[in-house]
Amino acid sequence: MPLPGQTDGKQRYQASSTKADDGSPGPAAQDPVTQDPVAFASDVLGVQLWSKQCDVLRAVTAGRRVAVKSGNGLGKDFTAAVAILWYLGAHDPGIVLSTAPTFRQVRHVLWRQLHRLHRRAAGRLGGELLDTRWELADDRYALGLSASGADQFQGFHCENMLVVVDEAEGVSEPIYEAVEALMTSANPKLLLIGNPTVTYGAFHRAFHQESGIYRTITISALESPNVAAGRVVVPGLTTAEWVEERRAIWGDDSPLFRARVMGEFPDRSDDGLISAADIEAALLPPGARPALERGSELFAVEPAVIGVDVARYGPDRSVIVVRRGSVVVDVQVYSGIDTMELVGYVVVAMREYAPERVNIDVVGLGSGVVDRLNEQGLTGVRGVSGAESPVREAACANLRAEGYWTLRQRFAQRAIRIPNDPELIAELSSLRYTFSSRGKVLMESKEDLRRRGRRSPDKADALMLAFLNDTPAVELFL
């Protein structure tokens, strides 16, 4: 295989017009490489694709609508970038529009891949490449648009048009309605790619109610060449080690394991407290450390609240969660310490964050922590028992149920931000609830969690305590 920018003695591709001067098909249109995106990837871009990536590209050539649901780290964005570069090589005139839920995702995910591929064969691809625009001619270009408003998709007219929707599970219905208006052109194509984390919306419908008009492809991490071989065969793809880590942390039955590893939509579970999609939407960007600096605006405006889940020795951990407003700024975990050591860590946290209140679980050993903090004259310390009566007695069986139901609402309303902590994510996704005979919310007990092979939700409990009795965004609803 020739290196990027080299040939094997034959000029197989050039990003010239696909029409001759007389309007008949030009040499590029007749070139089989131009018509075959897999050959284009190999001969022009100098990259080898694995089988599922080839399946996606061939589906795009064969059908009007293609939907791809995938686990993590399986090259779906890379494949979409290849599709965009290929499409303009095969169509003149031609327009490609790509979008994602945010402009950051447009620019730094899909278009970053596109830039890398273009650099490999810039001399053969041609055109002017900007941050989110690649232009070969006035009527032959690719453009990256954010999904912030449907009006951005108006005014594009071309007989040949490809629309790529990245992170398709997170794009809103008005954007899909605008995309549908573009599908009225003579030769339109639509490619949806995403993680199957939600069981509603246009992306979900493409695999269910509207599957008859889509070519659908599922890519599981178990199909990754690296996982199948048990070693790195294709650098950058998901590995067997990552899959086993996710299995250990999330569990096979977790909706996150199904979505992020298996590439399958979560089972509709009436007793799952917080959806995988809501958890994903709440995650802070990697490396984010909001409000930890005392001079930050959030530090000055939002008071701190601390939640403490208490354990002593054994498999359970003591956890301290600190939040400012809706943002979790610190999660501390301690194993194998006694209650007086934990008191010391709580005192340090109180000195650092100056909280307006500290909610501490007093079931079991927590009462000793509360007593010692009160003995030191520290203010705002409150002992909490999950068995206490809730504020909304008509809706929840006890205070623990009310605290978790309010937390569920925060996630659903996008009124909470949490760190990208795999253990916390796994605990939140494993929480279940039911209703009593009087129609009140009941949380699954820790004993039942253990019977299902799940550990005690220490981090989730501390998170719930940190938000306990805080004014929700709206009234509690069931």
Distance CA 466, CA 477 (A): 20
User: What DSSP character marks residue 435?
Assistant: E
Q: Are 94 and 161 in contact (CB under 8 A)?
A: yes
Residue 156 CA from chain centroid, whole number: 29
Higher pLDDT, 45 or 12: 45
Q: Which residues is 382 bridged to in the sheet? A: 359
Cα angle, residue 119 at apex, residues 188 and 156 outer, rounded to 5° = 25
Can you name the CATH fold of 284-467?
A: Nucleotidyltransferase; domain 5 (3.30.420)
Task: Give yes or no for residue 292 having a pLDDT over 60.
Answer: no
pLDDT at 161: 95
Half-sphere exposure of 243 (CA within 13 A, CB side): 22
Q: Are strands 94-100 and 433-435 parallel, antiparallel or unpaired?
A: unpaired
User: What DSSP character marks residue 380?
Assistant: S
Contacts 24+ apart (CB under 8 A), 333-338: 333/458, 333/459, 337/312, 338/312, 338/313
pLDDT at 453: 63
pLDDT at 288: 67
Task: Give yes or no for residue 199 having a pLDDT over 90.
Answer: no
CB count in 10 Å sphere of residue 53: 26
pLDDT-wise least confident of 60-64, 198-202, 328-332, 460-464 = 198-202
pLDDT at 124: 86
pLDDT at 435: 74
Establish whether domains 27-219 and 284-467 are of one fold. no
Helix (H, G, I), strand (E, B) or coil at 24: coil
Percent of the chain with pLDDT over 90: 57
Angstrom CA distances, 24 to 79, 86, 94, stand at 31, 21, 16
Q: Which residues is 191 bridged to in the sheet? A: 66, 164
3-state helix, strand, coil in the chain (%, to 5): 40, 20, 40
pLDDT-wise least confident of 209-213, 250-254, 322-326 = 250-254
Angstrom CA distances, 456 to 342, 356, 398, 439, 461, stand at 18, 28, 19, 26, 9
Which residue from 128, 138, 124, 137 is spatially nearest to 86, judged by alpha carbons?
A: 124
pLDDT-wise least confident of 167-171, 341-345, 347-351, 391-395 = 391-395
Q: Which residues is 331 bridged to in the sheet? A: 321
CA distance between the termini of the chain: 61
pLDDT in tens, 256-282: 788 889 999 876 555 688 988 889 889
Average of per-residue pLDDT across 367-379: 94
* Confidence category of residue 460, pLDDT binned at 50, 70, 90: very high
Burial 300-312 (b: 16+ CB within 10 A, else e): eebebbbbbbbbb
Angstrom CA distances, 448 to 255, 410, 440, 445, stand at 18, 25, 19, 5
pLDDT in tens, 231-242: 999 999 999 999
Helix (H, G, I), strand (E, B) or coil at 224: coil
Q: Are 239 and 227 in contact (CB under 8 A)?
A: yes
pLDDT in tens, 97-146: 999 988 888 999 999 999 999 998 888 888 899 999 999 999 999 999 98
Type of residue found at 346: V
pLDDT at 321: 97
Domain ranges of the chain: 27-219, 284-467
Q: Which residues is 70 bridged to in the sheet? A: 219
pLDDT at 440: 83
**Cis preceding-peptide flag for 225 (omega within 30 of 0):** no
Structure tokens at 394: 């008509």
Q: Which residues is 165 bridged to in the sheet? A: 99, 192
Q: Are 405 and 390 in contact (CB under 8 A)?
A: no
Task: Give yes or no for residue 190 having a pLDDT over 90.
Answer: yes
Task: Give yes or no for residue 16 having a pLDDT over 60.
Answer: no
Average of per-residue pLDDT across 10-29: 44
Distance CA 243, CA 255 (A): 14
pLDDT in tens, 421-445: 888 988 898 888 887 767 788 898 8
* Confidence category of residue 191, pLDDT binned at 50, 70, 90: very high
Please state which CATH number belongs to domain 27-219: 3.40.50.300
437's CB contacts (< 8 A; 6+ apart) are none
Distance CA 326, CA 328 (A): 7
Average of per-residue pLDDT across 204-224: 94
Which residue from 289, 354, 19 is spatially nearest to 159, judged by alpha carbons?
A: 19
What's the chain's Rg over C-alpha atoms? Answer: 27
* pTM confidence score: 0.65
Structure tokens at 183: 């599908």
Q: At how many degrees (to 10) do helices 422-430 and 240-250 cross?
A: 50
Distance CA 202, CA 116 (A): 30
CB count in 10 Å sphere of residue 212: 5
Higher pLDDT, 452 or 375: 375
Average of per-residue pLDDT across 61-80: 95
Structure tokens at 41: 């990837």
* Confidence category of residue 9, pLDDT binned at 50, 70, 90: very low
Structure tokens at 342: 């934990």
Beta strands in 230-326 (DSSP E): 304-309, 318-324
Which residue from 452, 432, 453, 456 is spatially nearest to 443, judged by alpha carbons?
A: 432
444's CB contacts (< 8 A; 6+ apart) are 271, 431, 432, 433, 434
